[in-house]
Amino acid sequence: MNSFVKELIPQLIEWRRTFHALPELGFMEYITTYRIGKELEAMGFTLHVGKEALKEDSRLGLPKEADLLAHEEKAAAWGVEKEWLEKMRNGNTGLVAEWDTGKQGDHIGFRFDIDALPIKECAEESHLPSKNGFVSGEENVMHACAHDGHTTIGLGVAKYIASHSDELKGKFTLLFQPAEEGGRGARPMRDKGWLDDVDAFYSGHIGINSMDVGTIAATTKGFLASTKFDITFKGVSSHAGMHPELGKNALLAATTTANNLYGIPRHHDGVSRVNVGKLTAGSARNIISEDSFMEIELRGQTEKISNHMVERAMRIIKASAEMHDVDYSIESVGVTESMSCDEELIPKITQWCEGSEFVKEVQPVAPVSGSEDASLMMNRVQEHGGKATYMLFGTKLDYPHHHPQFDYEEEVLAVAVETYIRILKGGSGDV
């Protein structure tokens, strides 16, 4: 199988650079989804595109309708077929690809995230994508979290499945997930039921500086459950000099909320976090503010801690609104869960990767931080008795994720494809 991957490398690089050059934000991956879909269609996969892949109501943090429409027009102009676009209308991007070998065996799921970030990519020569001509062509949008690579890896794995079906057993489901950033896209895919009968689930991320290309981690540890809320307060304006007593001060509702959120008590069981990242309120100096808006994020090491943070936060928001006699709304715009990789996969993955030309070392576990919405899929799989892990694929990084100069060693693509191939061969019980 090494030769399969070796021969695929030029294709992997081409895919990666093509996706990198045309990044799309979460729930606006119309062109990206179409491109992925056309490749998979050619390979013979059964496809479920857009609304077929997502439970629409479960989406969180959807972009504004005007932005969606504008981007749909752009996608149409670019050449996305009308039939495809119809399936994706109104922010229903992403797709699910199924392959059934027809032989008895496990059902294995893989998840690849495909969205980009609202970051302006570095245009200087020192930045490889700029130097080599595949820098982002979109103003202020950039693949700065390696999802171009993840997408590429997914296509590589798909190609192996399609071309080696007779050697494989069981069934494979590949989820090309939109809107991972902000923890928004896993939920609608999970709620559509794709994970309900999966026996083993694999996902992962490119890049952790402490591991070289060729080193992978079989599991990770440290992701926090997170909840993202957008909060709006609506009061009544009043002339602050003339009638201060008539106003219902939405600015004060927000500032009171902010000051008290940070005071949510620590939890006996472990790590928690809270942040108010953004606050805007008011329209004019001498007007008692009628509107305010906040973006907050709550995290916890376990679901219990996470729930503690959310329950307390909602209590504070409600009470601050009541204190200032204003209306409020809380919109959930993203959620990730805590996760726990199945440790029994460690010796298996280690064994399956033995002798690989690409995977030179398998670490049992890598420490991570932040949040990841693959957690929702993993937890669903595990609830139904399946096994799941989230892996890391090592590469040197000169700049951290989400940096305008983020880039990685493209050799990691082959490592990851190889890893997944060995897993699907091993995991599906191939002999």
Q: Which residues bind a copy of itself (CB under 8 A)?
A: 182, 224, 226, 228, 239-247, 249, 251-252, 254-256, 258-260, 262-263, 265-269, 271-289, 292, 295-297, 299, 308, 315-316, 318-320, 322-323, 325, 369-371
Q: What 3-state DSSP class applies to 175?
A: strand
Tell me how far apart the alpha carbons of residues 72 and 84 are, in angstroms, rounded to a whole number.
Answer: 11
Both tokens assigned to 175: 């989820």
- Min dist CB 168 to a copy of itself, Å, is 39
Tell me how far apart the alpha carbons of residues 164 and 168 are, in angstroms, rounded to a whole number.
Answer: 7
- Min dist CB 265 to a copy of itself, Å, is 4
E strand spans, 93-235: 95-100, 107-113, 171-177, 200-206, 215-221, 225-234
Tell me how far apart the alpha carbons of residues 70 and 138 are, in angstroms, rounded to a whole number.
Answer: 14
Residues near 142 by beta carbon (within 8 Å), at least 6 away in sequence:
23, 116, 117, 119, 120, 121, 136, 404, 406
- Min dist CB 409 to a copy of itself, Å, is 23
- Min dist CB 206 to a copy of itself, Å, is 18
3-state secondary structure 215-240: EEEEEEECCCEEEEEEEEEECECEEC
Radius of gyration of the chain (CA): 23
- Min dist CB 337 to a copy of itself, Å, is 15
Q: Which is nearer to a copy of itself, 192 or 308 (CB)?
A: 308
Tell me how far apart the alpha carbons of residues 413 and 19 are, in angstroms, rounded to a whole number.
Answer: 14
Q: Which is nearer to a copy of itself, 196 or 325 (CB)?
A: 325
- Min dist CB 140 to a copy of itself, Å, is 13
Q: Which is nearer to a copy of itself, 242 or 431 (CB)?
A: 242
- Min dist CB 139 to a copy of itself, Å, is 18
Q: Which is nearer to a copy of itself, 122 or 251 (CB)?
A: 251
Q: Which is nearer to a copy of itself, 159 or 299 (CB)?
A: 299
Count of residues in the chain: 431
Q: Which is nearer to a copy of itself, 54 or 321 (CB)?
A: 321
Q: Which is nearer to a copy of itself, 145 or 296 (CB)?
A: 296
Tell me how far apart the alpha carbons of residues 353 and 357 are, in angstroms, rounded to a whole number.
Answer: 9
